[in-house]
Amino acid sequence: MPSNRTLRLAAIGTLAGLFSGLFGVGGGTVIVPLLIFWLGYGERLSTGTSLAAIVLIGLLGALAQGGLYGNVHVVTGLLLSIPAIGGVVLGTAIQQRIAQRAVSLLFAALLVAVAIELVLR
Amino acid sequence: MNEVLAALIAVAGGLAGGLVGVGGGVLFVPALTVFLGLSQVQGESTSLLVIVLVALVGAVRQNGYGNVNFRDALVIGALSPLGVLIGVVVANEVPQRALELCFAALVLFIAYGLLRRALSTPG
């Protein structure tokens, strides 16, 4: 584990990019637990900061693919975003009302599902 | 009917984003490909648009609750392209199947660490 705080953050960013590039998952999957383990973040702060980082990672990813070669279906994406945004508003509201350790347990369950999906590919 | 299922999956993806801070791409991609007829490449590209919008709204909401460190998020996001570049090199040197199994083992190890921590600390 890197000793310097900024180095730890840089390592988390590099690992997030590495895993999302290799597997299509791994942005938040890596960021949230490493912020908890390496920087002593609480669950709520780690998930909120992860979302802010994902905005930037997604934008850089889109730029890196050169505007994605016309593969983005903008109208379909915007329409699907409506229920998805409803979900995230609800999810963040629920998260403020449950214990932080419950967030960790949910996250562990999600990681097990990710592992199963990876093995079954 | 397919549109309704896609919308329900999108709600689930957004919920996951709000609850545990992931982008939800794991759910948005199949919603776009299986239920809305996009190809895999189109689905993965379009899911980025959905992820950015969901993460943006989620981050704004979380900031309202006092749960965002923007400086740290900036460092993490800014370094992610370096990881993507390393990933391209690694993918050319190591079989994809070996990488998937190694990553599966790693996320199980992380899950174990989260469980142990959650069950041993108060609150």
Residues B22-80 have pLDDT tens digits of 988 889 988 999 999 999 888 888 888 999 999 999 999 999 999 999 999 999 999 99
Q: How many domains does chain A have?
A: 1
CA distance A103 to A30: 15
For chain B, domain boundaries: 1-68, 79-123
Residue range(s) defining the domain that contains residue A104: 5-120
CA distance A42 to B14: 21
State mean pLDDT over A69-78.
Answer: 86
**Cβ pair B68, A49 in contact under 8 A:** yes
**Cβ pair A71, B42 in contact under 8 A:** yes
CA distance B8 to B12: 6
Q: Examine the pLDDT at A65 and tell me if it is beyond 90.
A: no
* Tokens (6 digits) for A31: 């960021």
Does the CB of A23 have a partner CB in chain B at under 8 Å?
A: yes
Does the CB of B22 have a partner CB in chain A at under 8 Å?
A: yes
State mean pLDDT over A36-56.
Answer: 96
* Tokens (6 digits) for A91: 């999810």
Question: pTM of this prediction?
Answer: 0.92
Question: Which chain B residue lies closest to A43 (C-alpha atoms)?
Answer: B20
CA distance B44 to B39: 9
Question: Which chain A residue lies closest to B99 (C-alpha atoms)?
Answer: A22
**Cβ pair A50, B21 in contact under 8 A:** yes
